[in-house]
Chain A
Amino acid sequence: MSIADVQITHASGALVARLTGEVDMSNAEDLGATVMSATPNEVRGVVLDLSAVEYLDSAGIYVIHGMRASLQARGQNLVLVIPPRSPVHDALRLSGADRPGEVVEELDAALRALNAPPAAGS
């Protein structure tokens, strides 16, 4: 059985990638590459919806950091959907690392964050 899946849709100028299942060293890089190669230059950014992910470890966190760096280089943003008390939330807490992108609790907030006009002065 494949332990994870990714569904990619487009919503108001953003690419939404919804991950499900378990992300570890066996599939993290492939999942990241799938999302990156599906992202066109025209979109404002990528929403990575991790709310249905059942497991994510350091290999997954590493790939998300890499995605953020690649997107930033193209002038695109990465917003993560991570509800509190979710497996991904716990993994990030345990890793103690800085958040690999802007984190919101649900999809609508992610789309609003991507479409918000740039903050004054930036």
Chain B
Amino acid sequence: MDGLSVERIHVWRGERHLLRGVSFALAPGQLLQVSGPNGAGKSTLLRAVCGLTRPEQGEVRWGGTPIAAVRESFLAQLAYAAHEPALKGDLTALENLHFAVSLRRRADTAELGSCLERTGVGSCAELAARILSAGQRRRVALARVLALRAPLWVLDEPFANLDAAGAGMLSAILREHVEAGGAALVVAHHELAVGIATRRLELAP
């Protein structure tokens, strides 16, 4: 099958059994919201989906094949934004984006600039990420997700630190991505007002 499927994965963190047989499928053009109380394993689930954490049991599949077997092509189609913005404070916003994109393909500075414009931090392109506010850093991280042009987005609490306008911008970006045939896996605590059908996965504590 197409897209991402997670089949009964179990993840332990030390003595804690964090994910107990979580399963879901995410096809192109779908948005899946993951929610649940703090400590329910939302971030762990996202890390497992990306292949950063190896589940003790179960399988994460991309296009029907375990991600470990198609690692390169899977990663080429994945944009992951962790809870922290993952920016180098001493590099400018644009340099951060340029580096992330260049590792995958030839980066076009004008395109990166317009990604920053799109997330509302175009004026911060030449500023060191260190001096940006938490909300601005989040926006730069979202610009990186845009710039990677990946069909699968895995976003860990992307609405954190964003103001109302930023939340609106992100909702619009998510809608465009999904309507264009992309898939998105998003951790969010509130009801997503994206304007498209959103499925929900509730993780129990």
A joins B in a complex: no
